[in-house]
Structure 1
């Protein structure tokens, strides 16, 4: 894999639900949210580069890392740096993050298909249908050649982003009513920030991408290029959506669009992208569980593999039907696991190794102290942010007035049972603007 291949792979893999949700994040944070997107991208590119440098150093110290196949390089870095306990912590966090992100993609895909079907079935039903369709696909082993899927994911999401901007800028200004732009509160700001951080979930996969590169030492440049490309996809869509729809923007930006042929093309492109990304994200979780449970049949389809992966899909289905709002799951993951895997752990690993390899020169020691201060400050800031964001994210899920009834309880108790302030009603679109913000999703 060349450096350019790595850049394209990063953009194709990381660009996901954030494309739909960042406009709503700007509505929650205000115009400063654009700066927050750029700052988070810069920090993630930097810490992603730190992971690359950490791996290069470990390869120089441990010959088995440079000559043998490493299945979980991020977890291996933790094990070699802090001990086996850190390796287990990182692997657990990665599995939870990948699983939670997969659930988000499942919910987003179900909502897009529900819109394509003109509301013929409830989104909760589409989640069930998609789970049944995708489960046999997850029985297969991991793809041996990921370049083609990555390129397809990149093309589909970039094309979808361009068409989304076209859809918004061609919406006649005279048909837009006055769009309110309210100042953010602490709660909305924290939720918007968590969405922004979730949009850059995926740094934990960087070591795997680096191992496929012919020149691994150049991965730091690939990380910078990848996040620059990601911002070129995210920022125009997010900023345009915020300026056109203001506070009326839905967490699923597409729900604000005027129905028409262009909207159908956008929905198809993004649905295909999200479904493909779901399979690619859930597969490593399946493999990790198979390794932990010593499930045989790594090269073939076995009963154990079918049962384990089907069980994992049932767990994803249960989570999606329990919290039928991808935005709420995004907020929780973005404020916890993304912060840990993207910002805190890469900094801790690098500080530990840099302390052992800072050299004996006075200049080298000063550079180490400056970098340690910066990274330690970043870790403390992330811990403080996480504490506040988690509070508001959990409150959003369970608080009266925001609680959404799980799908299975609605089916059991009957239509409309447990609805709170209309939160489970259907979102309608008139002249490209939300008329009723509440929706099933």
Structure 2
């Protein structure tokens, strides 16, 4: 963007904070985070909570919320320190997360982070594309009685979103974030209304299966996915008018998302119990609410895809030295990257297993493991640099990467203990959850890739009738309206 920076002298921001001549405010920054975060993972939280059990599930959900908030703040503090120390980060930076890795660990880690950001965000975008296609299929059936094969709907979603991926950076598509956050919030409100409507009947017979260890490990991935998106945070912060205010955005957004998640997870647990599927939407028995929520989630994920694709796009464009303007190189690079996402969606056309695997592996790394490492390292560097400059009066930093011995000596014990807890939580939970998700992905009975179906036995344009309700009750045959479950419930168990 090439935006010039000016130093702020206000006490509120601190003497070394700075502002951009242009940029988004902290409220819009919070909306970006909400828009990116609250969506695909949100509708799977009830299933995750019932898989773990109420008390263990709530403890894990709250821990993920608290630790994600803390690591998000650590990324904010890390980027602020880096902008203060190295003037080059006050201008346009396409890969701030990777630069954090470079300044704290080294060049090889920067390359590794660039790769991991691409894998994480591409996986995230794939989940959103699959969810958008699924919701679109339900909407088309309900409103127009059209049953289109999921594979073709993935292509339709791709064609609809493709042009929006050409927008330069988050600053230029804040409207998408507003639509995304607004639609997900409205979806939660409608889900709560649907839960209240179904509760008098369904909660009287809400079965709860015994907690399953494998499902519990997968629930960890779902919870982390719901709070993930940390790879995008430095990009949003960098595009703010006052980057130092991004801490307000983070606190507001994650608290807001936690409230939404608790409403969905706890409500689904008590009203539907173990009858709730990977997504809570089919369990809602008021058809207009069910389909409006589907529409809102579809709007959310389609707009969020644009936000999620920004970090890998920035990484790849920096690698190929793509100019900061629209042209042939930008069009080709972004098109190849986006249609690669669509190709993955056509290869694994079901969002549940992909969501669990991405949440358990790469998102755990980007959300819970790397931010503490970056922060305690850059904080130690800052302390040593300031102490050295006071003694030598040198204007340039005289100290580079901190050693483990320096980190342990300089970092307060409380900060060390908190970061150690986050790291242990992320490493153990992420490892077990990743192994479990891979086992589930390998054992799951999924359809063959769309292109394989097309070239081997043909791929019909029409799909299955998917307009039924997932009814509640022990035998999955309770209807709130008293309607005959045969032909109405998608999963009666007589």
Residue 429 (structure 1) aligned with residue 469 (structure 2): yes
**Mean CA deviation greater in 146-155 or 188-197:** 146-155
Judged with a 3 Å threshold, the aligned counterparts in structure 2 of structure 1 residues 48 and 328 are, in CA distance, closer, same or farther, namely same
Judged with a 3 Å threshold, the aligned counterparts in structure 2 of structure 1 residues 86 and 43 are, in CA distance, closer, same or farther, namely same
Give 1:290 deviation, angstroms. Answer: 2.8
Which whole-Å CA distance do the structure 2 matches of 1:94 and 1:106 have between them? Answer: 18
Name the counterpart of 1:326: 351
- The partner residue of 1:191 within 218, 239, 248 is 218
Give 1:341 deviation, angstroms. Answer: 0.8
**Structure 2 matches for 1:401-420, cutoff 5 A?**
402-414=445-457
- The partner residue of 2:431 within 365, 369, 387 is 387
Please give the per-residue CA displacement for 1:136-167, whole angstroms capped at 9, x wherever unaligned. Answer: 44345446434333222221111111011111
Larger radius of gyration: 2
Name the counterpart of 1:28: 51
Which whole-Å CA distance do the structure 2 matches of 1:48 and 1:354 have between them? Answer: 15
Work out the number of aligned pairs and report it: 424
- Partner of 1:17: helix, strand, or coil? coil
Name the counterpart of 2:179: 152
Structure 2 stretches lacking a partner, 5+ long: 1-23, 388-407, 477-488
Judged with a 3 Å threshold, the aligned counterparts in structure 2 of structure 1 residues 268 and 253 are, in CA distance, closer, same or farther, namely same
- The partner residue of 2:326 within 288, 300, 317 is 300
Residue 103 (structure 1) aligned with residue 126 (structure 2): yes
> RMSD between aligned alpha carbons?
2.8
Judged with a 3 Å threshold, the aligned counterparts in structure 2 of structure 1 residues 145 and 99 are, in CA distance, closer, same or farther, namely same
Which whole-Å CA distance do the structure 1 matches of 2:458 and 2:283 have between them? Answer: 25
Which whole-Å CA distance do the structure 2 matches of 1:235 and 1:187 have between them? Answer: 22
Judged with a 3 Å threshold, the aligned counterparts in structure 2 of structure 1 residues 154 and 426 are, in CA distance, closer, same or farther, namely closer
Judged with a 3 Å threshold, the aligned counterparts in structure 2 of structure 1 residues 408 and 143 are, in CA distance, closer, same or farther, namely same
Name the counterpart of 2:81: 57
Which whole-Å CA distance do the structure 2 matches of 1:126 and 1:259 have between them? Answer: 25
Please give the per-residue CA displacement for 1:102-155, whole angstroms capped at 9, x wherever unaligned. Answer: 110100011101111226112222112222333344345446434333222221
Which whole-Å CA distance do the structure 2 matches of 1:212 and 1:160 have between them? Answer: 28
Structure 1 stretches lacking a partner, 5+ long: 417-423
Q: TM-score, normalised on structure 2?
A: 0.78
- Partner of 1:164: helix, strand, or coil? helix
Give 1:101 deviation, angstroms. Answer: 0.7
Residue 378 (structure 1) aligned with residue 422 (structure 2): yes
Please give the per-residue CA displacement for 1:240-285, whole angstroms capped at 9, x wherever unaligned. Answer: 1222111111112112222522222222222111111112222442
Give 1:231 deviation, angstroms. Answer: 0.8
- The partner residue of 1:253 within 250, 274, 280 is 280
Give 1:367 deviation, angstroms. Answer: 5.4
Please give the per-residue CA displacement for 1:37-89, whole angstroms capped at 9, x wherever unaligned. Answer: 221111011011111112222233223334x2222222112112222222222
